[in-house]
Chain A
Amino acid sequence: MNKLRKLIIMDDDPHYSGMLALKLRMQFPELMVSSFNKADLPGEYDIYILDNDFFGEECGARLAEDIRKISPKSLVLVLSGTLEFSLLKRLVNCHAAGVFDKSSEDDLEHMMNLIEQYLVRIPRGTRGGTAASLPNTLRGIRELMTEWNKRLAFEEKRVS
């Protein structure tokens, strides 16, 4: 039997998660979308979208690391407004697939594309399947590094 894939949005802002959930459901009707307003583990899901900022506390990296322990093959996407090397390093280490700026429409589109790629690549009912295989992991890290390099170059230009 085909199982619905499960996605969870972890964000302290119910308005953001409500509208993002609607957009995700419209684009991916095959997904079961939930949201969670606490910075602790909600259980096992196929896709996690994590906000790095919960009521002023930065906990995206800790959450991503905790998720990897219970759900090693899931797709983990992080929303953050800051560029910090320590955050990037921890996210790369726990195989997060990308870091996105909440206020950027391009980043939202990029995030949707990653979810689509994941859904197309992974057969239903395998709860992550080969997502954490070596080629996928390397591809994820490469995409993450490329994205951050682009952003660092942009920031550099903006500052100078």
Chain B
Amino acid sequence: MCRTGKHILVVEDTKSVSMLLAATLQRVGFRVDVAESLRAARQLLSQKEKSQIKYDLALVDINLPDGDGSELLKELATSAWCKVRYAVSADATRRAKRYAMRAGADKYVIKPFDLRKLVDVISEETGLRIIVHHSENQESWSDEKIRLAQSYRDHLRFVTGELKTPMPLTALKSRLHQLRGSAMLYGFRRISALASELSERLSEQGPSLAEDVRAVLRQEICVSLKE
């Protein structure tokens, strides 16, 4: 259900990334369409054109199985069917960024990205202050609980990826703080307890411990997800 009136197109061939992006954006109230190839994206755009629906923002992966996402960015930039375009790529070079921006991207997002920050940036870009009215949701409590639990497991998988690479100390502390609360609510008590302990140790010992914290936390999340 779209609670914000904002419509987003995600063009991404890695299913786990597109599912997580779509679930998170839907969770905060966006309506999301996903295309896994250039061809699928063009088909979607053609359907939307017929029904006069415009996208508020498009996230386009540059490396798609059937071609270059920059081609789609050019098409979107010259049409009136998408207001804002973000290019997404694992290529962090300036050359790649310049190429995507020239094709019509308004922003260049490098993989792996911080999902929370990306959603925040998208919310700002689309002029959205997100207030979700949970009581308006019509699904049953048990269905909602299952959906939330599934979305949380996807989120934990995303966090394991995020923890592979170094991150600013404040971001790591903030992630630990979030996990303390959310893992407890979703029944991952060991993760919650570990996040509390690591948070304290990180405050006491400082940035030198960050790498160990990421490794230990990542291992515990992987083990918990397998159980």
Contact = CB atoms under 8 A, between A and B. Distances in A.
A70 to B, nearest CB: 15
Nearest to A24: B134
Interface in B169-211: 170-171, 173-174, 177-178, 180-186, 192-193, 195-196, 199
A69 interface: no
Contact size range, A: 35 or more
B185 A42 contact: no
B27 A14 contact: yes
A56 interface: yes
A4 B133 CA distance: 13
Nearest to B185: A19
Contacts, number: 108
Contact of A22 (B28, B133, B148, B177): B148
B130 interface: yes
Contacts of B71: none
A56 B120 CA distance: 14
Interface string A20-44: 1111011000011111111000100
B176 to A, nearest CB: 9
A51 B144 CA distance: 23
B226 interface: no
A36 B174 contact: no
Nearest to B168: A56
A15 interface: yes
Nearest to B28: A14
A33 B134 contact: yes
B177 A102 contact: yes
A103 interface: yes
Contacts of A65: none
Contact of A15 (B123, B155, B193): B155
B52 interface: no
Contacts of A79: 181
